[in-house]
Structure 1
Amino acid sequence: MKQVQLGKSGPQVARMGLGAMGMSDLYGPADRQESIATLHAAMEGGITLIDTGDFYGMGHNELLIREALAGRDRDNVLISVKFGALRGPDGKWLGYDARPEAVKNFCAYSLKRLGTDHIDIYRPARLDPNVPIEDTIGAIADLVKAGYVRHIGLSEVSAETIRRAHAVHPVSDLQVEYSMISRGIEQPGAGGGILATVRELGIGVTAYGVLSRGLISGHWTTQREGEKDFRGLMSPRFQGANLQQNLSLVDRLREFAESKGASVAQVAIAWVLAQGEDIVPLVGARRRDRLAEAFGALDLALSQDDLAQLNALVPPDAVAGTRYNEAQMAHLDSERR
């Protein structure tokens, strides 16, 4: 698979990465053996970047990745870890903690669960409103100096926060939701537009939610509205009239995809790939067949005319509903306007 550099200061990574969250949490039951087989297939297919969080399944996801990496060359894989989200025994979200001492504590536990001596990219999952970003990044910089972390990343923060963090230590990449129907990083905001800012500073983008959690995968239907996972409980885009409107957008994409001999998911991923080589999509495949479908997007070249047609079919403001519910949206520094 083609390799690109993740920002000016980041590592070389494959053109597509794998987000492992759904193998442990939030999207309903997952099959452990199929998850491991999918991780193996991803690596064998050329993917080098695997993204996780220490709070995905309260450590389960890191242990799963450790099992999948057993017996393999650790240096052939880049592990990105998010930290800071606090959860109770019942799985409920309790807030965020990005104090310097917490940063080092979280890192120690992740290293142990992953069975590795270093984390390739370490990033706070959200901005902690009670801790200056300079303090959080400074603590990660200490871990870089000590050899426990190779690169520093950010997640879901504003242009202003990106500038402050990058002034403390070079940032390799910003992880943020970006898809045909989630295009907030293109818009002006506090401190300037997020996408314009990272490009100015030479910071890469690792885009998650490229299929909007399955909404624009071509596999979601109104019959699944009642499923009580993250989507049905916490994402307005999957609920009621919003879902009906959003699936009508998918119908438009399906017609375009058929004209290209591709699937809806492949078109959606190819759209993200076409936005620039500084943007690396993280596909959230939990099964090998979904991963194989995602790989097909790498062979789908969209022309400027294709992109213009897609923008006409699905305008940036066409989606109904916010990415998260009101409580979770309040934690997104990236949504500050």
Structure 2
Amino acid sequence: MKTSPLGSLGNVSRLTLGGGGIGQAWGPTDREEAVATLRAAVEAGIDLIDTAPMYFNCEAVVGATFEGAPPAHLKFTTKCALGSPPPGETAARLEASLDATLAAMRLKRIDVFFLHSSIAPDDYAYAHGDARRDEFSTRWSTYADEVVPAFERLVAQGRVGAWGITGIGVPQSVLAALAHDPKPAVAQVITNLLDSAGGIRRFAEPAQPRTILAAAKARGVGVMGIRAVQAGALTQALDRAVSPNNPDAKDYERAAPYRALCQAWGEDPAVVAHRYALGMPGVDTLVLGVKNRDELSQALAAEAAGPLGADQLAQIEQLGLRT
């Protein structure tokens, strides 16, 4: 498998195994298949595993699979959905989250620790769920005054190798975080042909994922692409029941012309979507949401095939599907 530099981490595989699939966040799977998928990913050359406590049992799966002694070349990331704690509580909450993750995964350190909250201005009002904003969103003042110093201390202590952000917040604040000093070493950025974050987007304005991606690269921040198949919207069929009003369901409906185009090509839409995302300029590694070995095989085939050609890219863009 090809590799690319990821910020300060050095070279990593072009594909990252995400914990959502093996943790059962993306449709049903069982522990045996989750373990088999994890092992198959490593055997195929994937050397970066992206986990999070909110991915149900994925961290426990990692811990049980490697029993505290993973292959030395593997790197691991995790996240904290911090929100906006009361002043002075941020560092303790980040440390408690990290402690729980290290215990579950049976590790002594994590290579990248992500803030997995939507960063927003202090006075921002969300279009969806604003009454609960402190649960899912980190206010800018909390980020600059407490989150960044706490992350820097964890790096200095050797408990994490680097820190990062999940760039799904209000675009102006994500861009400000990338321009801030100290800057994150890595950012997770939406990378799909719809430019859609689906159900995790709570603000009304355009998400600007390509602007965010370009800003990250301009600052020397590593980029992990996420949502290549946009929660299943860019696959042949959604693998879970969702309401017709769910943004992911609406994206699936909007992508019907894309599936028709893939059918005309004789191609699987999930494979094409992964190839599209891997070919986006600036994407260092692409996080997979696969939950079983069959889905993993599709992603591996996409990486082996390489980016789409200019003609296929042009035909996709002519569909006018970007948000």
| TM-score, structure 2 normalization | 0.80
Contact persistence 1:66–1:114 (CA under 8 A): yes
Matched, 1:178 2:191: yes
Alignment RMSD, CA only? 2.8
* Aligned-residue offset at 1:243: 4.4
State how 1:184-195 maps to structure 2 within 5 Å: 193-195=211-213
Find the aligned partners of 1:209 and 1:188 in 2 and give their Cα distance.
17
- Partner residue of 2:135? none
Q: Distance in 2 between matches of 1:14 and 1:307?
A: 24
Instruction: Give the C-alpha shift of residue 209 in structure 1.
Output: 1.1
User: Residues 127-138 of structure 1: matches in 2 within 5 Å?
Assistant: 127=119, 128-129=138-139, 132-134=142-144, 135-138=146-149
Secondary structure in structure 2 of the residue aligned to 1:313: coil
Whether the 8 Å contact between 2:22 and 2:38 is mirrored in structure 1 is no
Q: Is structure 2 residue 249 aligned with structure 1 residue 250?
A: no
The aligned residue for residue 99 of structure 2 is: 108
Question: Kindly tell me: are residues 169 and 68 of structure 1, through their superposed partners in 2, closer, same or farther at Cα, counting changes over 3 Å?
Answer: farther
Instruction: Give the SS at the match of 2:234.
Output: coil
| 2:35 is the alignment partner of 1:36 | yes
| Structure 1 residue 165, shift from structure 2 partner | 5.8
**Which of 159, 162, 178 is the matching residue for 1:151?**
162
Q: How does 1:53-202 map to 2 (within 5 A)?
A: 53-57=52-56, 60-70=57-67, 72-84=69-81, 97=85, 99-126=90-117, 127=119, 128-129=138-139, 132-134=142-144, 135-155=146-166, 156-157=168-169, 158=171, 160-164=173-177, 167-182=180-195, 193-202=211-220
Q: Which amino acid aligns with 2:108?
A: D
Deviation at 1:189? Answer: 7.4
Which ranges in structure 2 are unaligned for 5 or more consecutive residues?
120-137, 198-204
Runs of 4+ in 1 over 4 A off after TM superposition: 95-98, 187-190
Provide the residue aligned with 1:324 in structure 2: none
Tell whether the 8 Å contact from 1:215 to 1:247 is kept in structure 2 after alignment. Answer: no
* 1:272 equivalent among 269, 277, 290: 277
Q: Is the 8 A contact 2:174 2:212 kept in 1?
A: no
Match of 2:248 in 1: 237
Distance 2:321 2:140 in 1: 37
Percent identical: 24
What secondary structure, in the 3-state scheme, does the structure 2 residue paired with 1:103 have? helix
Extract unaligned runs of 5+ from structure 1. 86-94, 318-337
User: Helix, strand or coil for the counterpart of 1:76?
Assistant: coil
1:298 and 1:243 map into 2 onto residues whose CA distance is 23
Partner residue of 1:282 out of 274, 279, 287: 287
Displacement, 1:15? Answer: 0.7
